[in-house]
Each structure stands twice: as structure tokens, then as C-alpha cells.
Structure 1
Amino acid sequence: MHRLLAATAAIVIASALPAQPAGPVVQQTQAAIERIRRIDPALGSVIAVDPTALDQARRVEGGGPRGPLSGLPILLKDNIEAAGPLPTTAGSLALANNVTNRDAPLVARLRAAGVIILGKTNLSEWANIRSNHSISGWSAVGGQTRNPYALDRNTCGSSSGSGAAVAAGLVRMAIGTETDGSITCPAAINGIVGLKPTVGLVSRTHIVPISESQDTAGPMTASVREAAMLLSVIAGSDPADKATAEADRHRRDYAAGLSPTALRGKRIGVMRFASGFGTDEVFERALGVLKAQGATLVEIGKFDDSQIGRNEGLVLNTELKAGLNAYLKGSPANIPVRTLADTIAFNKANAATELALFGQETFEQAEKTKGLSDPAYRKARQLSFQAAGPNGIDRLLKQYNVSALVGPTMPPSWKIDVVNGDQISGGGAGSLAAVAGYPHLTVPMGQVRGLPVGLSFMGPKWSEAMLLNYGFAFEQARGPLPGPLFFRSIEESPAIAPHLKR
């Protein structure tokens, strides 16, 4: 269902019910639906509103679960299954009928906490794994997601709609997923908080997969505290996901220990090797905030990440074929594809819609891989993990005697370019945490010409509580930042427009 039709359907359902006073949960759910109806047509961030959202709200008001997040509306990236009438499409028309009537375990945890599942967000189709020449934020189901700071700018991806929806104030919390940068990049360039947890802290069951070694879901929120609260709900072990075996032992109330003085006396490594790309001035100001809060900053000038770049592609392609084949085969829905090969054929048969803007060469490369027992794959995974984890983040932390690493997350947003695809002018060190499976938090640190940029905090495995604490202390000391004004182009802004005239 088109996102606007879905939103309208939800409102019609509400109006058809007998008139009765609406409680606060119903009211805020109705308000969120109205914001989507009014604001989202300019953004394309929401694929569909869940027609059961108001019923969920009434159940919470009628004695449903109570807790810190009870009654709050949340949006899910549309590669995450939720029971109800909405399909889980991953942005592809091949999954337009993928109504599975099952909750992903993380969604079940949200419902048990009284959270309202408001709907599904747009994403880079197939979580941006179909082509190396894609346009982030575009899917055949949802069209192009746009950045609320400048509508001709990209949202990054693949959790594009989740980032834009929170930035635009449609909701304060959303769930994204990441394989490499898909939470942290859209969070950073849409000016919100994003946390990629340790792989294995949050279940991946009933989420359309890419990589068993790198995939994870995580919070995308308006503040660090909300990210901590949301992580506290969705973290936990799942018997169906063997990677989460240790999650219950490590999960905690992440919001309980947040302190504005958390940086005092801490040694923080500054990743100069992952800096630049137009963020230097804002980054220096952010470092000044860290120092003013009592942190000792340790410069890290060089790091060789070549082993990651040489090996990650084979790992992702091999795991994509294995994981997607298993997911498609196991879907209870009536879908026309049951393998990656079927999906490639579907895209060719529907090229006018699916392949109109870019191809599927990454899918085709993945189809040629030889399986999880392939020695070349196993060697590539071992080399890339060692380079990113034990010889990467772990070694840097030990060598420089620091508890965490910081750097700019990504450059400011680039223009949407259907001719050349994504034109990204650089990037931080997020691949280190992604390939290692370690946590990565990004917090808004400022703006470049009116476009948001983020500050990354990275640490060892299971260090979410520490990173959230550091990010919270930084956020509190940094103070408020300007929100989006929905310029058609950033060149329209009052700070720039007069200088473009003769």
C-alpha cells in the first residue's frame, strides 16, 4: 500500500469507530499519523502507516504494558517484520506481498514494553546491497527519501527513512539496521543520534538479511537518552539467532547510568586518519567540548585499513546469497521469489520499475559466490575481522591507552544524483566497527553550511553503556542545534542565498 493511502486508511479507521474521549496515547498516536500525512509527502520517509496503530494505542490505554516507553509511537525500517497487514518489502516490488503475520523478536520486545508500532520507513532498496552505483534512500516501493534540511540532498542509507522521519519530528524514535554504515551514516547526515550495537546484542530473526557476521538492528532517535532507553528494550538473547547467545548477560538499563560528567578523567583517542572531508572546523569544536568536559585527547595519526577494503566485499556477497536464500525460502507469504537468483530474474523482468535508475551488479556478483564453506570466503572473513577488531579497534585502544575512539562520522549530505549515483566525498572509520561487529554511536556535533554532521564514538565489544554515557555527556555540553527547515536546496538558506547573487 502506498504510504499516503496507508496513512489515510488509518485515519478513516479511527473516524469510523464510535465516538469516545481519546486518551493521551491515542492522541499522540493520532498526532503522529497527522504529522506523517502533512509533512511526509515532501520527504518520502514513510512507506506505510500501520492501520492497527490506533488499536494498539487503545490497548495500551486499556491496561496494556507500562514502562518508560509505553504509549510512544515508533517507526520500523521496512526490512523488519511486524505482525499485521503490512508487508515487509525491503523496498523491493518482489516482496510487495510479503505479509508474514509475525513479529521480529525485537518488535515483540517493543510491543511488550507498550510501544506503538506506527508504521514502516523507506530504505535504500535491499538495504543498499543491490548495486555499487545506487542512489541511497531510493526504493522501487517508496521512491526517493529526501533530507529535511535540504530536499535536494540525500539521506544516506540504507536506514534512510528512519533517519529522515526522526529528523523531521514525525516520531522521536525509529529502528534502523546496519551492515556497514546503514544506521550511523543516515543518523549523522540527518542530524540525529544513531547506535549500531555490538553484533549479537539485538536479534536479527525475521529481518531481511545481508550478512550474518555484520548485520544488526539499532536505535535511531532524537536524543542519546532515548537511544539508551530504546536499546534497553530491544536488546536480549534469541534462541533463533545464535549470535545473541551472550546478549542477556550483557544487556542492562542503558539509560540508568547516564551522567553529564561521564567524560571527566577519560582518555579518548582522536582518529585523525578518519577525519577531514569538510568537517574539520566542526570536529575541532567538538573536540573542544570533550576537553572542556575533562577528557584527555590522544592523537592517532595513522591506521592501515587495506585488509578490510580488500576482503569485506567477498564476505558480504557470500553471506548475502546464503542469508537471503534462507530468508526467502522461509517466508510464509505468497511471494514470487524464493532465492537470490529468482530475485535477479524478477528485477530483469520488471526492469522498467526495478532497474530504471541503477542496476544489480552486486546481486549478480553475490549469486556467483560459492557458499559459506568456501575457503576463500573463510579466509576473507578472518582477515577482515582481524584487521578491524583485534588488530584494529582493540589494538588502537591498547596502544594509545584510551577507552574509546572519536572521529567525524561522515561528510555533510551530498545532492541526490540520478546520473552519477551517490557522490560521497569521504567517510569516517565506521567500517572498523561494522566489520569487527563492535558498537558505534553517532551524535550530532554541528553543521557544515547548514547541513548536519555527526561525531562518532567507538569502543570494544559490548561497550554500549560506556559509549552512550560519553555521547550523553557530549550532547549535554554541546547544547541545542538548529533543526531542519525543509529548504528545497541549502542554497536557498539565508546564510547562503545572498552570496550567490551578482
Structure 2
Amino acid sequence: MDRSTESSDLSHSPVNVEEMTLDMMAALMREGKISSESLVTQYIERIHQIDKTGPSLHSVLVVNPHAIDEARALDVLWNSEKPLGPLHGVPVLIKDNIETAGPMPTTAGALALKNNVCLQDSPLVAQLRKAGAVILGKANLSEWANFKSLKSSSGFSELGGQTKNPYFLDRNPCGSSSGSAVSVSANLTTVAVGTETDGSIVAPASHCGIVGMKPTVGLVPSKGIIPISHNQDSAGPMARTVMDTALLLNALVDPSHSKARKDYAASLQFASLEGKRIGIPQHADRFPESVRAVFEAAVGKMEQAGAEIIRGLELPQEDSLGEAEFEILLYDFKHDLSEYLSGTSSSVEVKNIDELVAFNLANPSTLALFNQELIEMAAKKGSVEEPAYQASRQLVEKYGRKQGIDALSTDYQLDALIAPTNTPSWLIDHENGDNFEGGSSSPSAITGYPIITVPMGDTQGLPLGLSFFSGAYQEQTLLELAYCFERLINARKMPEFIAVHPSSRK
């Protein structure tokens, strides 16, 4: 039967999109109760009411001017029983360091890339379109994915302004995938795509009360993403549920990758914590008491559900690995960013990192709030053949992988490691920058291994996440554990856009 006979006009369906999951969306489309056009229209209206006015979250840099037309075209295919794929008609927001074909530019939030209009989609975005997704727009981010200044404010970019935490508007959403996290949490999109070098998906996801996953580096295509480091960069899914995270991951992974699975979601409903061996590294004990209390309560529930918890595990050489990571990122940023800039169109003035430094110095607005110490430090680095770079890479391989996560996983027969994702959201501060007190993303970041965060509770109304991490290509196991944990804890709460956190009034 031609589905076009089921409904006359669904362009302004009254169905409430708040907390709508992908499965709910698909069911409503099959029942003829919503259309892709109605979904896109409602999300655009919410963006205007919540992001551009009202709470003014500043999470969306630009709405795709063709989004409604694209949704209508997808509705025609749906009504003709020709769906493109599992994300048919689903609105997806893309972090603005991921290339989309014009007219929307790809800017990393930076003035230097304001006119970076690309001729074609990145492979990642092309895969989303092939799966039927509507590209709703581009999400704000920490400028240059938070690799500009040592004292910047996460979620701030010159082109997008300061993204706000949707729970308390005076609080920071963390970053660098700030807009992706905030827009998902505030129900301005169904799902979103972020990128991570170290914490840039999981940290804002934790602060904003959602799920975020950074896959193993290389599993998701990286071409067409403005880079920091080819050793650590990965795009990944951000959603309100683990199931939606898995469904979005299905569309993001490179189908030609030898380790890619066709369906990360199918087995989730059959997963169990019974008999699972979960390790807790020593650094989990260094979080503030308010965070540890929520974490220990969550761990207790996992034990009650049958998980075996192994405590006090040591990840070796943490300080040395941190220094090695920083060295690697500086070298990689110089090489990788210059290579990216050299391939941009003539409308982009800067073609390498030295020209970027000069551009920012010549345009005072780019340095009005924060300097560019990280860019300048990277610009001074030499070739990746230099001994300092090679020694840092060897240190990561030895202590991060072989004697680190790999050794713990093997020696203790672990299914995963867990820890609090990070400390709670801090006050937005454009004078001193972020007040970041600790996180758990670095072991996975330096190794290129996967990590997922799931809401575990809150402290004084500020969301907290719990991270599961493991060895290379263990996405399926991590998703299953995260799914079980989510059902057990059920900690996700919708934000209410409260202006000021109570502690700020003291």
C-alpha cells in the first residue's frame, strides 16, 4: 500500500519530540503519526525558542537551510515505501569541525575558517545521508576543538559564542563537543555527532546528562574532519540513550573496516551484568567525595546485579604518559592541521599553522578573550621524525597499551574498566578559563581505545557520568555493559534551564 494515503498533512504533527528515541520515532513514522518534515520543523522551532532565544544555549552554530526540503524528499521516498536506511528521516546535528557540503561552512568555530565552504560531505556525513539521516545543522564547539589556549572556556568559539550547560545556565557544558552534547540533552535534535581527542565527547556528555561514545581510532572515517591528532582523533555518537548511541554508531563506522560490525544494537537487549568482571583503576579514588559517593552507589548496584568488581588497579606511568600525550598532540596538530588547511578552497586565507598564527595576531577579535598558546607551541615543533616525538609514541605503546589497559584486561580477565567520567560542571569563567578538576578519558585517549559514558546520577543537580573503557575494538562489549548499567541506574533527567546554580548565589 502507498503510505501517502495514510496521512494527508503531517508537516506540523503535534507529537511531542522531547526524549523521543530512534525506536519511538521509527514506530511513529510506520504508524503514519509523524513525518520527517514534522520532526525537522519541530526541532528548528525548538532551536529558535531555546537555543537562539529564551535560555539562549548557543549550542547550534547554524541550521541547515535545506533541512526541511531534505526531509520532504525523504518523506516522499518513505511514502513510496523506498526507505534509504535505518536512520530514514532522522534529524542529526553535526559538530562543526566535520565537513558538510555547502552552503553550511565548516569552521571549528574560528574566524579563520568562516568561509570554509566544502564541495562535498565528509565520508562520515555521506554515510549518514546514505542511512537516511537529515543533517539538521552544525553544532557549536570549543574553538579549534579546545586546542587553542591553555586558559580557554570550554564551549566558547568566536563564531558561536559561549555554549551553556542546559541544567544551570551559569555552568560550563565542558567540551569540545559542547554544542553536540547540549543540543541532545535539551532535545534540540534526536542525536548528534561529536569528535574526541581526549575527553571531547565523554566529558560534555557527562556534564549534560547524556550518553557519549568515542570509538577506537580509525573505526569511524576521519577524512574531512578538522584534525588535532591522527593518533587520537575520532568522531562518535552522542544520544540520550545507549540504544540510540549504538544505532547511530552503526551508521558512523567505516563499513570497509575489518573490525566494523554491521549492528551494534541487536544484542543489547539480551545483555546482562551477571558474571562480568569490572576493574576500577586507582585514579577513581582521587575524585572529590561528592563524586565518589555517587560512583560507589552505582558500583554497589552493579555488584547487586551480579558484576564482580576488582578494585585498586594501577595504570602505570600516568604522569609520564600525560607529558608524552601533550608532546604528541603538539607535533600532530602542526602536521595534521597544516595538511588540512593546505587542501581548503581559495576562500580560506590560511594554508598552514604559521599563517593561522599570523591571521589571529592580525585579527584582534580572535584573541579578545583567550590567547593562542597551544597553536603557537605547536607551530614551533619540527618534524614527526624528531626523537622527542618518536620517544613519546614509544612510551604510549609500552605503558599506555601493552603494560596498561591491555595488561590489566588480560591479567585480571576484565570485561571493562570503570571510573567517574569527570567532576561536575563549573562556573563559566572567561577570565581564568575552565576549572577542570579531573577526568578518566586520558587512558583511552592516548591509546586510541574506545570509551563510553552513561549518566550515573548527580551532585546538587549537576549531572555525573560513569565511563566504561577497554581495549581496541571492544565497542560491542562496552555498549552492552553501558546498556545494562543504564537500565539499572536510570539516571537521565531532562534539563530545566535554571538560570543560576544554588551554590553560585552564596
Kindly report which structure 2 residues correspond to 1:407-422, keeping only aligned pairs within 5 A, or say none.
407-422=419-434
Preserved CA contact (<8 Å) 2:456 2:491: no
User: Could you tell me which of 339, 342, 346 is aligned with 1:329?
Assistant: 342
Unaligned runs of 5+ in 1: 1-18, 239-246
In structure 1, give the amino acid aligned to 2:186.
Answer: A
Preserved CA contact (<8 Å) 1:189 1:412: yes
Unaligned runs of 5+ in 2: 1-7, 12-33
Kindly report which structure 2 residues correspond to 1:181-200, keeping only aligned pairs within 5 A, or say none.
181-200=199-218
TM-score (norm 1): 0.90
CA offsets 1:466-501 (integer angstroms, 9 cap, x no match): 000000001011125322111111218xxx98xx6x
Kindly report which structure 2 residues correspond to 1:126-275, keeping only aligned pairs within 5 A, or say none.
126-236=144-254, 247-259=257-269, 261-275=271-285
User: Could you tell me which of 52, 60, 74 is aligned with 2:74?
Assistant: 60
Secondary structure of the 1:100 match is coil
Preserved CA contact (<8 Å) 2:294 2:456: yes
In structure 2, give the amino acid aligned to 1:296.
Answer: E
The CA deviation at 1:371 is: 1.5
In structure 2, give the amino acid aligned to 1:418.
Answer: H
In structure 2, give the amino acid aligned to 1:123.
Answer: L
User: Could you tell me which of 113, 116, 119 is aligned with 2:134?
Assistant: 116
C-alpha separation in 1, matches of 2:49 and 2:185: 15
User: Could you tell me which of 43, 47, 54 is aligned with 2:61?
Assistant: 47
Preserved CA contact (<8 Å) 1:272 1:407: no
The CA deviation at 1:261 is: 4.0
C-alpha separation in 2, matches of 1:127 and 1:445: 26
The CA deviation at 1:378 is: 1.3
Secondary structure of the 2:269 match is coil
Q: Which residue of 1 aligns with 2:359?
A: 346
C-alpha separation in 2, matches of 1:411 and 1:266: 26
Q: Which residue of 2 aligns with 1:4?
A: none
Kindly report which structure 2 residues correspond to 1:310-459, keeping only aligned pairs within 5 A, or say none.
310-351=323-364, 353-428=365-440, 430-459=441-470
1:125 and 2:137 are equivalent in the alignment: no
Percent identity of the aligned residues? 46
Task: Rate the CA distance shift 1:178–1:21 in 2: closer, same or farther, 3 A.
Answer: closer
Deviates more, 1:272-281 or 1:219-228: 272-281
The CA deviation at 1:381 is: 1.4
CA offsets 1:45-96 (integer angstroms, 9 cap, x no match): 0000000101110121111643332111010000001113010000101000
The CA deviation at 1:192 is: 0.4
Task: Rate the CA distance shift 1:21–1:404 in 2: closer, same or farther, 3 A.
Answer: closer
The CA deviation at 1:237 is: 5.2
Preserved CA contact (<8 Å) 1:123 1:157: yes
Preserved CA contact (<8 Å) 1:201 1:251: no
Report the RMSD for the aligned CA atoms in angstroms.
Answer: 1.7
Secondary structure of the 2:41 match is helix
The CA deviation at 1:292 is: 2.1
Q: Which residue of 2 aligns with 1:5?
A: none
Secondary structure of the 2:405 match is helix
User: Could you tell me which of 466, 471, 475 is aligned with 1:464?
Assistant: 475
CA offsets 1:360-419 (integer angstroms, 9 cap, x no match): 111111011112222221111121232221121111112322121001000010111111
1:283 and 2:301 are equivalent in the alignment: no
TM-score (norm 2): 0.89
Q: Which residue of 2 aligns with 1:101?
A: 119
C-alpha separation in 1, matches of 2:255 and 2:84: 22
The CA deviation at 1:172 is: 2.5
